[in-house]
Structure formats: C-alpha cells, structure tokens
Amino acid sequence: MERQDVPAWVLALEQEHLEFIRKFVLSSGSLKDMATAYQVSYPTVRAKLNQLIERIDSVQQEDVEFINMIKNLVLDERLSLDVAKTIIDSYRKGQAKE
C-alpha cells in the first residue's frame, strides 16, 4: 500500500496506538485477553480503547468540517467548483503525507 493511500486517521495514530490495534485484532477483539496481555484491569483496557476511538473520531471530524466549509463556500457562490475540487484534493493529499 502506498503512503498516499493510507487513511488520514491511521497516519494520525502513534506507534503505541497501532500496536494496541494489532494486539486487539490478534486477540479477536477480546478486551479480557488484552487486559491479560498488558497486565492491567479490564476497565483500564476499555479506557485505552475509548481514548483510541475518540482520537480516530476527532481526526475524521476535522476532515469533515474542513470539507463541509469548502462545499458551503461553493454553495454560497464565494468559491468556484473547480477551485473547491482543487483545494479538497490538495488537502486530502496533504493529509495522506502527514
């Protein structure tokens, strides 16, 4: 997979988040098994998962808000459709590089 094909939400994650996701998948999503692997309580693992979910949601929300703002500028005829497409494409490419 090329770097530009990796979703922005994945690129926004730190190595420890990616490792948590890897272990989560390998444990078939069992938080009980995750707690054992990390040698912590179930609520601690659940809290870590909740933090990860919030992080992913926040990155996706930022993308949606920016793109919606550009679309609204087009609807208000303050920006041409061609320019809007260029801005959105450039934004998405920039997100893939981060």
7-65 per-position pLDDT tens digit: 778 878 899 999 999 999 999 999 999 999 999 999 999 999 999 999 888 877 777 88
Residue 84, classed as helix, strand or coil, is helix
The answer to whether residues 66 and 91 touch, using CB atoms and an 8 Å cutoff, is: yes
pLDDT band at 3 (very low <50, low <70, confident <90, very high): low
The pLDDT of residue 38 is 94
The pLDDT of residue 65 is 85
Measuring CA to CA, how many Å separate 98 from each of 49, 60, 61, 79, 92?
23, 14, 16, 26, 10
The answer to whether residues 81 and 74 touch, using CB atoms and an 8 Å cutoff, is: yes
Q: Which of 67, 25, 84 has the alpha carbon at shortest distance from 49?
A: 25
- The answer on pLDDT for 87 being more than 90 is yes
